[in-house]
Structure 1
Amino acid sequence: MQGFRMFLLLNWGGLSSTSQSTIAISARCRHVSSFARHRRCHSIPRRLDSIICRRGTVMGMMKSPPGSSSPYSTNGLGTNDGVDDDDDDDNAPATTVADATRSPSISSRARGTLDPCVILMKRMINKYADKWRTRGGIYSLAQGVVYWRPPMSAYEALSDAIGANVDTTTAMGGGEGGDGGIIHTYCPDEGYSPLLEALSIKLRKENGLIDPHVIVTSGANQAYVNCVLTLLDEVDDANDGGVCVVFEPYYFNHVMAVQSIRGDGGLLVGPTVRGVPDLSWLRERLEENEYAGTAAASGGGGRGRNAGNAIRMVTLVNPGNPTGVSLPYAFLEEMMQLTKDYGVWLVVDNTYEHFDVEGRNRLPDGMSRPDFPCFDEEHVINIFSFSKGYAMAGFRVGYVALSSKNGNNNNSNSNGERGRGRGRGRGTQAYEEMLKVQDTIAICTSRISQMAALGAMRSGRSWVRERVKTLDVGRAAVLGAMSSLEDVVGGNGAMYVMGKLPDGVDDQEFTSLLVEHYGVAVIPGSFCGFTGWIRVCYSNLPADECAKAASRLETGILELATSSR
């Protein structure tokens, strides 16, 4: 098993002396012209604090916030593709200044970003595929996908769209930038109008979001990148950029997004208790401003109230990836109010909204009941996806919803129009800035993919619910296979279970041996900031195959992990 990188996510720096109670939007976005879509590019050299760890050898210590007794740190997995991370450096000739001047450079942010774990796991599976070819192949319980196909209504929509477009006798609207049935041109940046209309109805009925602003993105990951680019700033002499809070174990792509845009200094990693983010920890960070650096110390912004918007955004995944935990509605309500009180954006990734197994995210009795209630608040941004429930991961369709409430927190202004006029709310302002990001990254999501997503919606939530029920057998098998581990979390939401390996067992080495000798793949917890744990996905395979995979997993745990006790 090769070495891995642990990135130091806390980087203490100075803040603006301005104390703000309102949620902030990236100055980078606001400085981009709404009409001329161009921007100035700034190259800002900065040192990424990082430490390198080798298996069994820690080369450095994690930092803690000043004055804090609790360390806040995270672990990331480095390259593990069968090639030593250091091979390129060990025998390389000395580089002269002249050589360095002639060599094109690569962003330190990119080099400092976690390696994509799914790619590395697929390489590992491919490495041992021949060995297992005659024994049923390697079962993957690694990547978070579902075993079923999209609904037939999605294929019918595709067929209709393609058929209409190859019929040259059919007159179709939608020229350059238009929004007709033609499939080979751009559609509006925010999305295909018929899909937006359907999503507006869905969000009202199933999520309790009233007439939100919606941008269709190329998957939920792009939606999150849009949020980071819209809300966080670059670092310069006048701006500390703000930080994003994630909770470990975290979703690796969220961390990668912040690292690639802001570097490690843009991340603050908080703890969880049984998969539930620690609200007390977050409240303390906001109130005492441990992260406020020089602004708090100098008295310019004063202590308390998140001076200078030191913490700019908080990220949740519900139901949780990688935890497999559905967050209770009461917790979400408290988190919403806390972030509102301190002027912080709350970004909630609802990719697994259809997988709230135990119904934890339900409104209390006596209240109206959307299927999966979300908060219609100015400071809350909700992300959704077609990848999981509708099994459309390859189509790359997600969407982000921002509140259209005006600045007075009312549903409409004096003209009865939400989010317009002088009282524009922060959600509306963020939406307008996010369109610049959307136009820069994708312009628009693939039009034909959006048509397929619209077709999938015709099958309805009940179609998804029926298929989610079929995961019960596989979930039970996986939970049984992991029962010998001392600590198991999840299984009541999303499609994951996490288990703690015995002390001294290297999770990366364990997963490598599990693939090679037992023919089953899982994700090392190190990718998610939980060294010594594994993440297991039970939705990848039909019930009978998942049971076989679980049997291999159980054998591997008993022989590899528990034998080391």
Structure 2
Amino acid sequence: MTHPTPVNPNIAAAFAPPVMEARRWLQGVSFPAERPLINVSQAAPVDPPPEELRRVMADAALNRADAHLYGPVLGNTDLRDTLAQSWSRFYGASVGPERIAITQGCNQAFCATISTIAAAGDEIILPVPWYFNHKMWLDMQGIAAVPLTCGPDMVPRADDAAALISDRTRAIVLISPNNPTGAEYPAETLAAFFDLAKARGIALIVDETYRDFDSRDGAPHDLLGRDGAEDVLIQLYSFSKAFRLTGHRVGAVLTGAARMAELEKFLDTVAISTSQIGQIGAEWGLRNLSDWLAGERAEILSRRAAMQDAMAQTGGWDIVSAGAYFAWVEHPFRIPSNELAQRLVPEAGILMLPGTMFMPEGRGKQHLRVAYANADSAGIRAMAQRLADWQP
């Protein structure tokens, strides 16, 4: 394709958004009523927020003039205060609102954070399989993504990361529970990465988008209370999964207060402020929806169990890891996963993403990501049966 005006070569070289690419596989394909499409491609709630929350947001839209105005660049004061209190209770560590920035979703939290840390030519260590939007942002900024191979349990090791650190390394990025593998990183793993980052003078970014659906009770780590956390640790969070606010784009960054001035520059330039109605909803949810969220977590954990049970009956399809919204599965065929995923759409009525979308070129051919959070137990069993029945 030719362009009439110049195009940023970093943008042009970045791969297309994987979820959008997969959706295009549906074009021209019909699914009979007796075998409807099972879509396990995207990790986002498809149901709206609970009715009480929607009423609060609707009332704000009707009756609060400030709900339609720009807000503070770093986020509304009440949301930052409430989130600071929530984090302090959850992690058993003191967190002040001056250490929190509210962003337009967790993707923007990542982009803003990276922009305060690294520039073109620098390096960021990403465990593989990686979350594709993280890789895309680094590519578009001319920042090298250094792949860190995980162990067979899909958990990365700090000793392996230590060997990858160079004088251009600016941060290590971890996601737990992980996207795309679902792996829940042990507390000792996160502690080892923290110690490594602190010793080498780099940042540790921990994306906790799926924290509310961790199968373990209580805080999954103690990093926030460790000496040096304000300088080393950066935590990212999303309200999209917790309260089904995907369309309202509300996320957060928790970091040292000194980084806030740099984050404010990025956020003011890119968005000015996060959606007021989304922030109002998130703040109300933090104060009122803990029991509801506990029920959501229980349902996700039940679907994880259903996924594990159903896939055990498929004969050859193996779950490598599973947790929160995802399972990372290994298929039994010689077909590369990018070809297999496309064939499963018309031939099995299943849409899932191939492992090649989450790995450096040439890797991931034997794996696929299943985002099972939007499929109920019956749907998960139906998917597993279709996989068991399918032959190349």
In structure 1, stretches of 5+ residues that fail to align are 1-87, 90-99, 166-180, 235-240, 287-291, 293-307, 364-369, 405-427
Greater share of helix residues, 1 or 2?
Answer: 2
* 1:56-455 alignment runs, 5 A limit: 88=1, 103-128=4-29, 131-135=30-34, 137-165=36-64, 182-207=66-91, 208=93, 210-211=95-96, 213-234=99-120, 241-262=121-142, 266-273=144-151, 274-286=153-165, 292=166, 308=167, 310-359=168-217, 362=220, 376-404=229-257, 428=258, 430-455=259-284
* Aligned CA-pair RMSD: 2.3
Answer yes or no: is the 8 Å Cα contact 1:152–1:456 preserved in 2.
no
Give the TM-score, by structure 1 length.
0.64
* Structure 1 residues 521 and 486: alpha-carbon distance in aligned structure 2, compared to 1, 3 A threshold: closer
- In 2, the alpha carbon distance for the partners of 1:279 and 1:449 equals 37
Q: Match of 1:464, SS?
A: helix
* Structure 1 residues 550 and 447: alpha-carbon distance in aligned structure 2, compared to 1, 3 A threshold: same
* Structure 1 residues 459 and 373: alpha-carbon distance in aligned structure 2, compared to 1, 3 A threshold: farther
Answer yes or no: is the 8 Å Cα contact 1:154–1:454 preserved in 2.
no
Answer yes or no: is the 8 Å Cα contact 2:245–2:278 preserved in 1.
no
- In 2, the alpha carbon distance for the partners of 1:373 and 1:275 equals 24
Answer yes or no: is the 8 Å Cα contact 1:326–1:360 preserved in 2.
no
Answer yes or no: is the 8 Å Cα contact 2:310–2:380 preserved in 1.
no
- In 2, the alpha carbon distance for the partners of 1:351 and 1:184 equals 27
- In 1, the alpha carbon distance for the partners of 2:267 and 2:225 equals 23
Question: How far off its partner does 1:515 sit?
Answer: 1.3
- In 2, the alpha carbon distance for the partners of 1:456 and 1:153 equals 9
Question: How far off its partner does 1:126 sit?
Answer: 4.3
Q: Match of 1:277, SS?
A: coil
* 1:528-543 alignment runs, 5 A limit: 528-529=358-359, 530-543=364-377
- In 2, the alpha carbon distance for the partners of 1:348 and 1:498 equals 20
Answer yes or no: is the 8 Å Cα contact 1:190–1:215 preserved in 2.
yes
- In 1, the alpha carbon distance for the partners of 2:185 and 2:329 equals 18
- In 2, the alpha carbon distance for the partners of 1:475 and 1:112 equals 36
Question: Are 2:308 and 1:479 aligned?
Answer: yes
* Structure 1 residues 553 and 517: alpha-carbon distance in aligned structure 2, compared to 1, 3 A threshold: farther
Q: Match of 2:67, SS?
A: coil
Give the TM-score, by structure 2 length.
0.90
- Matched to 2:79, the amino acid is L
Answer yes or no: is the 8 Å Cα contact 1:141–1:520 preserved in 2.
yes
- In 2, the alpha carbon distance for the partners of 1:390 and 1:224 equals 20
> In the alignment, which residue of structure 2 is the partner of 1:93?
none
Answer yes or no: is the 8 Å Cα contact 1:361–1:373 preserved in 2.
no
| Structure having the higher Rg | 1
- In 1, the alpha carbon distance for the partners of 2:46 and 2:376 equals 6
Q: Match of 1:470, SS?
A: helix
Question: How far off its partner does 1:360 sit?
Answer: 8.9
Question: How far off its partner does 1:215 sit?
Answer: 1.1
* Structure 1 residues 431 and 448: alpha-carbon distance in aligned structure 2, compared to 1, 3 A threshold: same
Aligned residue pairs total 381
> In the alignment, which residue of structure 1 is the partner of 2:329?
499
Answer yes or no: is the 8 Å Cα contact 1:518–1:553 preserved in 2.
no
Question: How far off its partner does 1:283 sit?
Answer: 1.6
- Matched to 1:384, the amino acid is Y
Q: Match of 1:182, SS?
A: helix
- In 1, the alpha carbon distance for the partners of 2:384 and 2:318 equals 16
Cα displacement string for residues 148-181 of structure 1 (whole angstroms, at most 9, x for unaligned residues): 432334213212212314xxxxxxxxxxxxxxx6
Answer yes or no: is the 8 Å Cα contact 2:102–2:252 preserved in 1.
yes
Counting aligned pairs with the same residue, the percent is 24
Answer yes or no: is the 8 Å Cα contact 2:352–2:368 preserved in 1.
yes
